[in-house]
Structures are given as C-alpha cells and as structure tokens.
C-alpha cells in the first residue's frame, strides 16, 4: 500500500515497546498504512557516506532479520531504510550550499537559516556542536564541510516527502539532525510525534519542541478539577521535599541521576562571609542541545558564559560558578568536556570562584547567595522556593509561564537585571512554584506506559540500563491483555484531544 507511517529505527529498547503500540495505532488510524522504519543517525553517530563494510552489515541484518531488525519486524514494520544521497540530491544541496555560504557571516546567521520555509538553523547549530565536540562554532572550513553534509541530508528528506505518501511520522528527539524529517513533515502538516517510554508529544509549527507544553501550564491548570489540583499540589510539595532532602531518583523526579545536587554533606566553606552581594552561575552541558526549547538570548551556552565573564568585571559582586555533580552512565561522556571548558573560563576570569561539583545546593543556600543565573535550568524553581532571585537567559524556559523568576526578553534587559536584581521587585509566590511543579512533573504524566516507575527502575538497575534487554524482560513479565487495552485507550484519548502531550486526563 502507498500510505506510510514512518518511525525511527534505533537501538533504544526503551523506545521499542512504546513505539510498537503507538505506531500500530497510527497504522490502523490511517487505513492500515505501512509501517516504515528509518535510520536517523547520519552525521551524528554515523557518517553520511558509508564504507562498504557498513553497507554489507546493514544489508545482511535487514534481509536476515538480525538483532533490532527482527524487533521492528516483530511488531509489523515491513521496510527499514537508510538515507542514500543520490547525485541529484547532492547537486541540489551544492546549489543551496553556495547561496548560504555567501550569507553566513555570524553565528546568528546560522541560527536564521530556513529552506523552503523550514527552520533548520538551530538543528545545524546544535548538531555541529554535538558532533564536533566544540562548545561554540567557528565559521571556518570545518564548519562549511559539515554544512555541506547537513544540506545533503536535508534534501534527501525533502525529496522523500515529495515522493512518498507519509501519513504520520514518529521520532524520539526534536533536536539535532534527528529532527530534519520531523521539521519537514510539520511544514507539510503531516502529524508528527515524539515517543519515549515516559512521554508522547505532538509537535507542529506552533510547538516545534518535545516538552514545549510549558507555555500552556497556567491556562491548563485553570481547567483542571479542584480535587485533582489539591491532591496534585500536595504531591508536588512532597516530591520537592524529597528533592531538597537529597533523595535522588523517582521520588524526586530525578530519574536520570542516582546523585542529588541537594546532598546534606557540607564541604569546607568557599563562599565568603561578608557584606558583598553574591551571584552564582549554574552552567549547562555545552554540547547538549542548546536550543532544545528554542532560541535563547545568546547563540550558545559558551557565548552566554563569556558574556557573564566580561560583565562580572564591571560589578562589585562576588561571583561563583558551579557545575553539576559528577554523574555516572552516559553523562560521563560529555561532562568532563564541559568541566574543561569551565576550567579554562576560570583561568580567563580568576575573580570568579569555582565551587566543587559536589558542593550541594543546600550548602550554597545556607551560606548565602543573593542571585542565581541559568539559561533554563531547574534552579529556576529550586532557588525561588528560598526567595532567591533567578535570572534566566531565555524566555523559552520551563518556568516562563510564571513570575517567580526573571525572564528578560533581550540583552539590554538582561544586563539591567544583573546590575539591579536587588532593587528590582520579584514577587515570588510559592503557590505558583507548586503549581508549576505539578504541571511539569505530575499532571503531564510520566506513567502512561509503566504504572510503577520505582519498581521498574529497581528491576532494570538505573537510568543507564533502561536501553538494555532488561526493559524487554520487565515488559514481558508485567504486560497483560488488560494493560494493552488500557494503553490503546490512552493513545486514543490523547490523539482525540487538543493536548500536546499525554496528561492525567487521558489516563482517566
């Protein structure tokens, strides 16, 4: 049949279970459309042009149903393909490349790139940083070589959608080159989704980013039944108490980490006890999807940090900076690189004191800090609960619906707030913080697929092991016909709603 539902082909066990249900539901919805898997890791983890050995491995695996090919085909996927760049596509990409090369003079020019009205500048920017392990972009031959490959991949997908009847597409990420087919589909008004075992989201031209539903928190909260609001706020308070007491994991909605930033072990004090105003920078992973929520006030996290280094010299504050704790698992890959960037930053701006990574938030707050700086981090609500003003460097932060943080709209306003945060009144309502937490972590539920996340995490081990055979094993031991019927009903409720992500209403 000509109708197709596309779904990303990958090695993520935690994706295979939810996408098997969701893709089959969409297939039936769109007149028994074919399920077609697509390899989506070109440029980032796989070269655009493959060698003969990789081609042979792909051919054998695909045709003999080996490993993950057999998993996908077990739930009805009858075609799996990789992007192949033809001469025609390559020539089209070259023409666009020369046009863009003449236009790109600054980093902002990269972020502004659109092709056929499809915004891809942020995808180009973040893919380069991630793939090249660079904290920022230098506009040089290295970048332009990368841009040439990126455009070939873009035009492959542009050509694919022109020549295939795609009814819906399912991805995992709305960032990096992973999002190229999603952006093109959105531009053609093709239903587009991101799926994980914790969340399913619709994305479109009004909501380009997975997790962007925070822009609706306030209005959505008003429509929720009062008894659910009351119970939700109680649970939000309890979970925040767990977080502040240093409890990691599911209880404090920190599934990705076994280490808490709110530990109760205090180190020798490095925050000076004097009358000077004290301001702290909480940096982000420089290589991890800078524009995950959209544009920020700076081109990237590195430019943000450099700006703060320069402006810090103009103040009479004491400045501090603290990286995240040394996490395990996949975070070990990029965290040392972020640490290196921060160490070089401190050498350049030695008046800024670097606190140890395990210097807990509880210790920082107790010793006295007057203002916190982040781009869009969780310290936005955490420090606000202690009446400490937080200045975000993006209006696209998950707290932006509320007034318990500063959300400057431009650099002039941002600079003014840094110099005047103690004179600028910020009305922090704790009720709004609890409301925010409820909407982000509870109402927009993480339990649509797995009812008991705590039991699940104990079974698989930790977050680093969710993409292992243990996930399959857990599912086979716990799935029932009744559970499958419930999953399909949740999916039906979600798709028939106007909501961007699965929430408690869809679970009845």
Alpha helices (H) along 298-441: 301-312, 331-348, 361-367, 379-382, 411-420, 430-437
So what's the pLDDT on residue 328?
65
pLDDT tens-digit profile of 338-355? 999 999 999 999 999 999
So what's the pLDDT on residue 1?
64
Position with higher pLDDT, 134 vs 508? 134
* 235 C-beta neighbours (distance < 10 Å), count: 15
So what's the pLDDT on residue 151?
98
Is residue 426 pLDDT above 70, yes or no? yes
Q: How confident is the model at residue 465 (pLDDT cuts 50, 70, 90)?
A: confident
So what's the pLDDT on residue 464?
82
Burial grade of 261 (CB within 10 A; 0-12, 13-18, 19 or more):
buried
* 33 C-beta neighbours (distance < 10 Å), count: 21
Of all residues in the chain, the percent with pLDDT exceeding 70 is 99
CA nearest to 368, candidates 469, 268, 280:
280
pLDDT tens-digit profile of 85-120? 999 999 999 999 999 999 999 999 999 999 999 999
Question: Cα angle at 122 between 120 and 124, to 5 degrees?
Answer: 70
- The mean pLDDT of the chain is 94
Over range 196-222, report the average pLDDT.
94
Task: Say how far apart CA 240 and CA 401 lie, in whole Å.
Answer: 19
Q: How confident is the model at residue 290 (pLDDT cuts 50, 70, 90)?
A: very high
So what's the pLDDT on residue 331?
64
pLDDT tens-digit profile of 160-176? 999 999 999 999 999 99
Please give the structure tokens belonging to residue 427: 């009305």
Of all residues in the chain, the percent with pLDDT exceeding 90 is 88
Over range 70-78, report the average pLDDT.
96
Using only C-alpha atoms, what is the Rg of the chain?
A: 24
Is residue 424 pLDDT above 90, yes or no? no
pLDDT tens-digit profile of 376-385? 999 999 999 9
Q: How confident is the model at residue 248 (pLDDT cuts 50, 70, 90)?
A: confident
So what's the pLDDT on residue 417?
97
Over range 401-407, report the average pLDDT.
96
Is residue 336 pLDDT above 90, yes or no? no
Is residue 329 pLDDT above 70, yes or no? no
């Amino acid at each position: 049949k000509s109708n197709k539902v596309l779904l990303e082909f990958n090695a993520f066990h935690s994706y295979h279970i939810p996408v098997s249900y969701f893709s089959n539901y969409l297939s039936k919805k769109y007149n028994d459309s074919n399920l077609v898997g697509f390899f989506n890791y070109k440029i980032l983890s796989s070269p655009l042009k493959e060698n003969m050995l990789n081609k042979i491995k792909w051919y054998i695996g695909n045709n003999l149903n080996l490993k993950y090919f057999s998993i996908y085909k077990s739930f009805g996927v009858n075609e799996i393909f990789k992007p192949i760049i033809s001469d025609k596509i390559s020539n089209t990409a070259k023409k666009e490349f020369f046009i863009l090369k003449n236009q790109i003079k600054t980093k902002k020019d990269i972020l502004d790139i659109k092709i056929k009205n499809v915004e891809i500048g942020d995808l180009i920017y973040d893919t380069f940083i991630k793939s090249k392990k660079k904290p920022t972009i230098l506009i040089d031959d290295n970048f332009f070589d990368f841009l040439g490959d990126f455009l070939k991949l873009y035009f492959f997908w542009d050509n694919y959608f022109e020549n295939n009847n795609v009814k819906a597409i399912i991805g995992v990420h709305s960032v990096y080159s992973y999002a190229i087919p999603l952006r093109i589909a959105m531009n053609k008004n093709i239903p587009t989704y991101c799926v994980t075992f914790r969340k399913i989201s619709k994305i479109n031209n009004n909501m380009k980013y997975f997790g962007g539903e925070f822009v609706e928190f306030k209005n959505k909260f008003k429509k929720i039944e009062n008894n659910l609001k009351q119970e939700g706020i109680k649970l939000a308070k309890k979970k925040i108490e767990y977080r502040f007491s240093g409890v990691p994991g599911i209880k404090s909605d920190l599934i990705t980490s076994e280490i808490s930033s709110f530990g109760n072990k205090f180190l020798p004090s490095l925050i000076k006890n004097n009358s000077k105003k004290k301001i702290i920078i909480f940096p982000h992973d420089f290589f991890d999807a800078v524009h995950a929520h959209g544009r920020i006030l700076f081109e990237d996290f590195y430019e943000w940090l450099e700006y703060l280094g320069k402006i810090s010299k103009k103040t009479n504050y004491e400045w501090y900076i603290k990286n995240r704790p040394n996490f395990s698992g996949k975070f070990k890959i990029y965290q040392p690189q972020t640490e290196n960037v921060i160490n070089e930053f401190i050498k350049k701006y030695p008046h800024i004191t670097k606190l140890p990574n395990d210097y807990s938030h509880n210790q920082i707050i107790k010793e006295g800090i007057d203002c916190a700086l982040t781009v869009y981090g969780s310290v936005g609500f955490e420090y606000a609960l202690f009446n400490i003003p937080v200045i975000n460097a993006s209006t696209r932060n998950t707290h932006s619906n509320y007034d318990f943080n500063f959300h400057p709209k431009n650099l002039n306003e941002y600079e003014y707030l840094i110099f005047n945060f103690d004179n600028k009144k910020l009305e922090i309502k704790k009720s709004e913080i609890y409301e925010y937490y409820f909407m982000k972590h509870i109402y927009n539920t993480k339990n649509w697929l797995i009812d008991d996340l705590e039991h699940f995490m104990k079974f698989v081990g930790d977050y680093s092991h969710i993409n292992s055979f243990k996930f399959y094993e857990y599912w086979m031991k716990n799935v029932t016909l009744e559970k499958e019927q419930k999953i399909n009903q949740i999916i039906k409720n979600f798709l028939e709603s106007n909501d961007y992500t699965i929430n408690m209403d869809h679970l009845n």
